[in-house]
Amino acid sequence: MRNIFTVFRKEMYRVLSDMRLVLMIFLLPGISIFAMYWLIGTLIQNQTEAVQQHTIIVYEENMPADIRSSLEGLVDLERPVNMEFHSIDTLEDSDLKEKVREGDIDVVLRFDADFEAKISNYDQAEAPSLFIIYNYGRQNSSFGYNQISSVLNQYQSMKLMERLEDPSHAQIFVTDYADDIVDERQMTGQGFAMLLPFLIVIFLFAGAMSIGPDSIAGEKERNTIATLLITPIKRSEIAIGKISSLALLSFISALSSFVGLAFSLPKLMQMDTNGVEYNIYEPIHFVLILFTLMATVLIIVGLIAVISAYAKTIKEASMLIMPFYLVTMIIGLLSSFGTEPSGQLIVHFIPIYGSVNFLSSIFVFQYDFANFVAVIVSSVVYTSLFIYLLTRLFSSEKVMFQK
């Protein structure tokens, strides 16, 4: 135990006494995650505001007065929509299409002559037509069309009601929704479940990847491993000391990313100044999350340590780890963006996937303690397996010394 602690302490000291490493592993992930997501949020916000502030250029022909007045009334909404109307005059469809394509015009509305008259005489004449040109490839045009479309739908409903002698006959049935079904906590939790387990597992892996290869493959590459192997310390003690120190360092690194994410989340999710409701969770949830993360980081670090011990150089180790990183990303995606978290016990024995699935189930308040035990027990088993493999690799002269 004393030897394990000695190796553990030396690995911690190696990182913590190097300001560049401290910056790179603990501060940079948090700062870069915050900066990246904050920037994305700001850009989305700016883009949305730019579209909303844009004056929609509408070219029209024979537009009924009611529709025109409804569209002009959009300027009085809480989020005003400005429209500028122009007459089509002599412009041909081909010219109009070209201008819409170029973004000079947002929407073209060509109503039939006597549009309203035809609507009124619906039992004697054909339904009037409306020809629309807009470009869904352009945000301003698409936004303008959506606004106009909702006004047209309202106009259509209004005209339909006018056709009936008693407007109340237009109502076929009344729909009433139960309003006490939605659990606000669960709804907020679903948002977290979609994003966080995936990101957390990626952060853990990235943190472990940034220090693991240097700690083991680096020692081989720099020829310092033999100096350690010549001491009476057991190979298993070296393995446990390395894995436990790497796990703690990776955990702190992931925590830094997580803090960056927590601060940038309100901006990213375009929430108001109240921010994201983190207080929907109780202490027990945080304890479960903490233990699940610790179990997951041990598996990830164990895997990276074994690959690093097998590799001859840091470069080779990083190259060999990359496919596992991609697989982990896919596992995270499957679990986060797939169906609801699985409650099946067997799923929680699958390394990493089980952890991500359990994290999702905590976030949506659908967890089961048996599954938690499965995650912890399986992680201990997998980590023990990795420690055994790492011990074997440290004992293998071919792996340790062959160039």
Partner 1 sequence: MKSLVVKDIKKTFRLSKKQRKIEQTDETKKVALRGVSFEAQPGEIFGLLGPNGAGKTTALRCIATLIKPDQGDITVDGFSAIKASSEVRKRIAFLTNEMKLEDHFTPNYLFRYFSRLHNISDEVSEMRKQALFKRFGIDKFQEVKVSDLSTGMKQKISIAISLVHDPDYIIFDEPTNGLDVLTARTVTDYLLEMRAEGKTVILSTHILNVVEKLCDRVGIIIDGEMKALDSLENVQNIASDQTLETLFFDLVKESAVEEHA
- Interaction site with partner 1 (CB under 8 A): 2-3, 6-7, 10, 13-14, 17-18, 219, 222-224, 226-234, 397-398, 400-403
Distance set, CA 163 to CA 125, 158, 159, 231 (Å): 14, 9, 7, 96
Rg (Cα) of the chain, in Å, rounded?
Answer: 31
Amino acid at 207: G
In the bound complex, what is the minimum distance in angstroms from residue 19's beta carbon to partner 1? Answer: 12
Least Cβ distance, residue 14 to partner 1 (angstroms): 6
In residues, how long is the chain? 403
Bridge-based pairing state of the strands 130-134 and 107-111: antiparallel
Q: Which is nearer to partner 1, 5 or 85 (CB)?
A: 5
For the bound state, the minimum distance from the C-beta of residue 226 to partner 1, rounded and expressed in Å, comes to: 5
Residues contacting 227, CB < 8 A, separation 6+: none
Residue 381 Cα to chain centre, angstroms: 31
Amino acid letter for position 104: D
Q: Which is nearer to partner 1, 109 or 217 (CB)?
A: 217
Nearer to partner 1 by Cβ, of 7 and 109: the residue is 7
Q: How far is the CB of 281 from partner 1 (least distance, A)?
A: 40
| Kind of pairing between the strands at 130-134 and 83-87 | unpaired
Helix (H) / strand (E) containing 59:
strand 56-61
Cα 389–Cα 390–Cα 393 angle in degrees, nearest 5: 90
| Least gap, CB of 22 to partner 1 (angstroms) | 13
Identify any residues that bridge with 84 across adjacent strands, giving them in sequence order. 57
d(CA 71, CA 153): 12
**Of 118 and 312, which has the nearer Cβ to partner 1?**
312
The secondary structure element, H or E, covering residue 51 is: helix 28-53
Q: Which is nearer to partner 1, 19 or 127 (CB)?
A: 19
Minimum distance from residue 51 beta carbon to partner 1 (Å) = 53
Shortest distance, CB of residue 290 to partner 1, whole angstroms? Answer: 31
- Cα separation, 105 vs 76, in Å, equals 23
Closest to partner 1 by CB, 106 vs 214, is 214
5 or 349: whose CB is closer to partner 1?
5
